[in-house]
């Protein structure tokens, strides 16, 4: 099975900061990577698919990049609504794996 490792597990930042979250795959997954945002008590929300494609309605301050085994999710200017937990997810051969999550906290 492909393992997904996210870092950091927790990130403290202020409104207006640029933040970057990294996700590493244990083997190449081409660009089969998605990013989700989850707030407490809510279902996850898709932000980005195919490593860099922004889902409709997601603010442009979110961006994704990478291919192969290393990927990043960036938020260009952190907003109050962005404090949440973020997960990466890979897909290969009818099997999916989520990363362990990155909690973005208020500094």
Task: List residues near another protein by CB under 8 A.
Answer: 1, 32, 34, 36, 38, 43-46, 49-50, 55, 85, 87, 89, 91, 94-101
Toward another protein, which CB reaches closer, 14 or 56?
56
Distance between first and last Cα of the chain: 36
Q: Work out whether strand 62-67 and strand 102-106 pair parallel, antiparallel, or are unpaired.
A: unpaired
- Is 101:5 a contact under the CB 8 Å cutoff? no
Minimum Å gap between C-beta 97 and another protein is 6
Toward another protein, which CB reaches closer, 55 or 76?
55
Here the tokens at position 89 are 């997810």
- Alpha helices by DSSP H, listed for the chain, are none
Toward another protein, which CB reaches closer, 17 or 68?
68
């Amino acid at each position: 099975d492909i393992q997904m490792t996210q870092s950091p597990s927790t990130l403290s930042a202020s409104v207006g900061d640029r933040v970057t979250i990294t996700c590493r795959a244990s083997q190449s997954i081409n660009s089969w990577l998605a990013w989700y945002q989850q707030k407490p008590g809510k279902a996850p929300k898709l932000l980005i698919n195919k490593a860099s494609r922004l889902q409709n309605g997601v603010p442009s301050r979110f961006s994704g990049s990478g291919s192969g085994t290393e990927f990043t999710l960036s938020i260009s200017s952190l907003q109050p609504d962005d404090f949440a937990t973020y997960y990466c997810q890979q897909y290969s051969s009818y099997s999916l794996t989520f990363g362990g999550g990155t909690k973005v906290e208020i500094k």
